[in-house]
Amino acid sequence: MQLRITSQMCDVLKLILQGKSCYAIARELDMDPPSIYVSYHAAKENLPKIDKMLTELKALGWPDKLAQVEAEIRTKSPRRRAKGTLEIAMKLG
């Protein structure tokens, strides 16, 4: 599932929330009115899904826990060693 909110969608939403019409927004952003409608409806469809996803991630400890987990992964995963060490490991393995 791919969810995205573009900067254009955000601009359109901000202007709609300020009470501007789609035609006024189109003039202000130098866009065609149909593009304004498409951006608005796409943002309106995706924002609740994104909000729900962020709520779930926050309940799991995002973003603080993510940094902790990344650090644990880095310490557990093999790192590149000096070239000689890598060659010896390859010969032995």
Q: What is the pLDDT of residues 19-48, one digit of tens each?
A: 999 999 999 999 999 999 999 999 999 999
Domain boundaries, the chain: 7-92
Look up the CATH number of domain 7-92: 1.10.10
Q: What is the pTM of this model?
A: 0.61
Distances from the Cα of 42 to the Cα of 1, 13, 32, 33, 35, angstroms: 14, 10, 16, 14, 10
For residue 78 the two structure tokens come to 């093999």
- The share of the chain scoring above pLDDT 70, in percent, equals 81
